[in-house]
Amino acid sequence: MPTVNITIDGKKIQAELGQTVLQAARAAGIHIPVLCDHPALPPEGACRICLVEIEKQRALQPACTFPVTEGLVVETHSQRVMAARKFTLELLISDHPLDCMTCDATGDCLLQDLAYEYGVAGDRFKGKQHHYPITDPNPFIQVDRNKCILCRRCVRACQYINGVEAISVFYRGFNAYIGFGADGNMQDSPCEFCGSCVAVCPTAALWPKMSIGKGRPWQVKKVDTICSYCGVGCKLTLHVKDNEIIQVEGAWDGPANRGWTCVKGRFGYDYVHHPDRVKKPKVRRYLLEGKKKSRKGNAWEWVETDWDTALDITARRMLEVRKEAGASSLGVLASAKCLNEENYLMNKFARQVIGTNNIDHCARLCHSSTVAGLAISFGSGAMSNSIEDVTGQAQAFFVIGSNTTEQHPVIGMRIRQAVRQRGAALIVADPRRIDLCDFATLHLQHKPGTDIALLNGLMYIIIEKGWADEKFIAERTEGFEEFKQTIQQYPPERVSQITGVPVEQLYQAAEILGTAKPMAALWAMGITQHTTGVHNVMSLANLQMLTGNMGIPGGGVNPLRGQNNVQGACDMGGLPNVYPAYQPVASEEARKKFEAAWGTPLSPEPGRTVTELIPDILKGKTKALYILGEDPVMSDPDTNHVRECLEKIDFLVLQELFPSETEPYADVFLPGVSFAEKTGTFTNTERRVQMVRQAIQPPGEARPDWEIIRDLAVRMLAERSLNPDAPYAGWDYASTSDIMDEINALAPSYAGITHERLEKGESLQWPCPSTDHPGTPILHTKGFTRGKGKFMSIDHVPPAELPDPEYPMVLSTGRVLYHWHGGQMSRRAKGLLEIYPQALIEISHEDAEKLGLNGTKRVRVSSRRGSIEAEAMVTDRVPPGMVYANFHFPEASANELTIAALDPLAKIPEYKVCAVRVESLK
């Protein structure tokens, strides 16, 4: 960018052509006050506070919109400017409540700061004042129009950041005010309560309801940490007072979110303080009385006890089970919600302490097919690019099987920004008409379970039209010829037949995917949760190799990981077939390395997965489970069967925060702590390892999970002697930083990632092989982990259970914006539960009419596994013949209906397709 020389307040500065005076001043560290301007938003020029005196300009000019030119001379605080600013402030204050004493924004209010600086007391102008009632009923944001200065920051945030455009200014002059939707309540507008408007509002006009009256900015301790909900990994700032989180903001320097959040991150934190938090360990009475297990009567009563008793009982029982039935009769479930350090300990616990590779976690249920598929295609199963380069540079997005604006809202926002502001193309492939389609270039509404046919069909056209990247294919891949043979079986007509997508749309999509470069492929559960999940993923790898979109910014394979630390839980070896950093259990070299490190022989046999461990209870193969931060009753398919299995288990230890749906089956409950009560790291979907910092003390006697695992391990190892030369045989960790030191030594991709580097402000994405390595934003830039990328020949195979005359509709399942998975956290966040209080079944208008749905619209949905009753939501989101349910509410969980049909390689259930019958309830 060419530069110009300008002078601000006598200081000579070099500015970039195209900048405004305000931008140039900010860059040079010169302060010009503003009200309506915000660095993250386009300039407005409304408030006139940033007026400056510019040589040769007759009138004062707003610095926020005035462009720099060569030789510009600017005065930012001349007498003329000061008088003008003061005048504007007098006018603003003349119609503003002078209630700073009780206003929540005191100490954090731009208007207050300026009034103080310019000596504006509010006594100069007397006139009509507004007295708007404060009535918006939504649970999250208080709307006080009396404090609004009509700076329109909220309008711009809703337009340019989130993009739903829920906020507008209505009427004009003295009658102008901020309103929502078509001038109604916030919750009746497109508002998603992301709180971007609250984040930018300079006064208390928009303020979090949960924070009102809770504390003054100077009374609050601010702690930066990472959100506990999804895999975007938004950096948050917690405001803490008297051991309570009273407000949450997005951190402006968050690499993934840049200060923005979604409703759950910003307003769904109060689950941490919910009275349901378990505060003392508890065990079933039969265990205290040394009796045989019985789930009846007194014997099954919960008895609160002290930590020593609970841990002693747990260790004893686990050792007993191991002695009676062998180490492989025990299983460990790590937690995608817990710290990396804790997941590492769980992996060590299973392997070193118990002696089994039966460790798994909920990644099995969501992206195990991604990990397996990409491991075969590329040698490495992680998101290849970063959120920044994908959303910032992709010329086209191919989003397939991801409801991004609801499940990864901040990434959804950034995609929307790219489409609207940069003109990037967006192709959405989804059986439902999700919100993402509102701004998509093209929506391919394919039939559920036809992803392979769709992808093969698109690749057929790409090859036919000569859009394949031949250079990339020749230099970086193998297996193309065989793959091409398979693709020839998928001409557009056949693909249209299978998928239901019109031939014309296939050509339109293929053209965009084949010619726009770089093109990023993003996906989530719609691709992974199928019996053909692994093949679906490999087809996407094929696509990105075919079009040469691997290893370049703005391209790549971008599976959007669900949980806040599912990436980390996988990285830390929370999987039955790999040690930390994906070193295979079956590799003798890897096993010997860990045996030497941990000082004990290790089992060479890969363990069983979650979707096998639980059903195996009925086969007598699984006798005991140690479950950390997971609720299989809510999350696993075929709930009735899960309950049946857990009833029969010999010993179940549950370590988590709340009495979940799995709790009734636990023999021991160990209360762990939330993300706000411990320090360590989470790894988000773009392989970025980020610091989670303790902000408050845990309630009652709940303890950090890593301490519990450690203390349990020490007890169970008491009788054993490990090799004294083994450097990492011991469990004497005094902090999670100690655990990270061990991870550095044993997990090559994490070798250079230390708490120290993170605390210094470095932002690191693995692989990071040494402490002077800057981390790796993009994978596979020079070669793939396995060398050459492998084209796989994949054929379409229909889902396991399709509709038939008895169960004539397709059920697809998933989540909604306001809740999170089993709902243990989100249903205990007051606002989230208020705004979305019950399970809803999405059903099309045609089907609703056929069923005669009207009035209260309650329906019963039944499958071969079970039946639920819930309220129907009649919508055009689902095509006729399909219904959609979520698994957030135990009273009507979709998993009562889902089928445990597994992908043969990844063992992931086919949550996305099964057959159901829907009846209207009168």
Chain contacts with another protein (rule: CB under 8 A): 164-172, 179-183, 189-190
Length of the chain: 922
- Evaluate whether 845 touches 906 at the Cβ level (below 8 Å): no
**Burial track 807-819 (b if 16+ CB lie within 10 A, e otherwise):** bebbbbbbbbbbb
| DSSP structure class, residue 262 | -
Nearest CB to another protein, comparing residues 592 and 845 = 845
Give the span between the Cα atoms of 820 and 409, in whole angstroms.
13
Q: Could you tell me the smallest distance in angstroms from the CB atom of residue 438 to another protein?
A: 9
Q: Could you tell me the smallest distance in angstroms from the CB atom of residue 884 to another protein?
A: 24
Nearest CB to another protein, comparing residues 132 and 170 = 170
Nearest CB to another protein, comparing residues 353 and 415 = 415
Give the span between the Cα atoms of 659 and 636, in whole angstroms.
17
- Listed in order, strand segments (DSSP E) in 524-632 are 557-559, 624-628
Nearest CB to another protein, comparing residues 168 and 529 = 168
Nearest CB to another protein, comparing residues 123 and 183 = 183
Nearest CB to another protein, comparing residues 34 and 186 = 186
Q: Could you tell me the smallest distance in angstroms from the CB atom of residue 138 to another protein?
A: 16
Give the span between the Cα atoms of 194 and 187, in whole angstroms.
12
Give the span between the Cα atoms of 912 and 459, in whole angstroms.
24
Nearest CB to another protein, comparing residues 152 and 912 = 152
Q: Could you tell me the smallest distance in angstroms from the CB atom of residue 169 to another protein?
A: 6
Q: Could you tell me the smallest distance in angstroms from the CB atom of residue 904 to another protein?
A: 45
Give the span between the Cα atoms of 422 and 381, in whole angstroms.
30
Give the span between the Cα atoms of 70 and 186, in whole angstroms.
46
The neighbouring-strand residues paired with 180 are 167, 184
Structure tokens at 598: 């941990």
Nearest CB to another protein, comparing residues 154 and 334 = 154
Nearest CB to another protein, comparing residues 182 and 734 = 182
Q: Could you tell me the smallest distance in angstroms from the CB atom of residue 435 to another protein?
A: 13
| Helices and strands (DSSP H and E) totals, the chain | 31, 35
Give the span between the Cα atoms of 270 and 97, in whole angstroms.
30
Q: Could you tell me the smallest distance in angstroms from the CB atom of residue 197 to another protein?
A: 13
Q: How many CB atoms lie within 10 A of CB 128?
A: 8
Of 740, 729, 726, 731, the residue nearest 710 (C-alpha):
731
Give the span between the Cα atoms of 559 and 572, in whole angstroms.
18
Give the span between the Cα atoms of 423 and 438, in whole angstroms.
15
Structure tokens at 242: 């008297």
Q: Could you tell me the smallest distance in angstroms from the CB atom of residue 18 to another protein?
A: 21
Q: Could you tell me the smallest distance in angstroms from the CB atom of residue 157 to another protein?
A: 14
Nearest CB to another protein, comparing residues 441 and 763 = 441
Query: Residue 796: left (phi > 0), alpha (psi -120 to 50), or beta?
Result: beta
| DSSP structure class, residue 894 | G
Q: Could you tell me the smallest distance in angstroms from the CB atom of residue 165 to another protein?
A: 4
Q: Could you tell me the smallest distance in angstroms from the CB atom of residue 92 to another protein?
A: 21
CA–centroid distance for 318 within its chain: 34
Nearest CB to another protein, comparing residues 126 and 172 = 172
- Evaluate whether 42 touches 160 at the Cβ level (below 8 Å): yes
Q: Could you tell me the smallest distance in angstroms from the CB atom of residue 166 to another protein?
A: 6
| DSSP structure class, residue 351 | I
Nearest CB to another protein, comparing residues 100 and 169 = 169
Q: Could you tell me the smallest distance in angstroms from the CB atom of residue 143 to another protein?
A: 15
Q: Could you tell me the smallest distance in angstroms from the CB atom of residue 492 to another protein?
A: 25
Of 388, 372, 322, the residue nearest 603 (C-alpha):
322
Q: Could you tell me the smallest distance in angstroms from the CB atom of residue 213 to another protein?
A: 31
Give the span between the Cα atoms of 278 and 851, in whole angstroms.
44
Nearest CB to another protein, comparing residues 179 and 381 = 179
Nearest CB to another protein, comparing residues 166 and 717 = 166
Nearest CB to another protein, comparing residues 59 and 182 = 182
Q: Which residue has the tokens 């046919």?
A: 453
17-23's contacts with Cβ under 8 Å and 24+ in sequence apart are 17/68, 18/67, 19/67, 19/68, 20/63, 20/64, 20/65, 20/66, 20/67, 20/68, 21/52, 21/54, 21/61, 21/63, 21/64, 21/66, 21/67, 21/68, 21/72, 21/74, 22/50, 22/63, 22/64
- Evaluate whether 811 touches 799 at the Cβ level (below 8 Å): no
Structure tokens at 373: 């598929």
Under 8 Å CB-to-CB from 758, ≥6 apart: which residues? 681, 689, 690, 691, 764
Give the span between the Cα atoms of 521 and 685, in whole angstroms.
14
**CA atoms lying within 13 Å on the CB side of residue 800:** 19
Q: Could you tell me the smallest distance in angstroms from the CB atom of residue 178 to another protein?
A: 10
The neighbouring-strand residues paired with 810 are 882, 915
Nearest CB to another protein, comparing residues 179 and 492 = 179
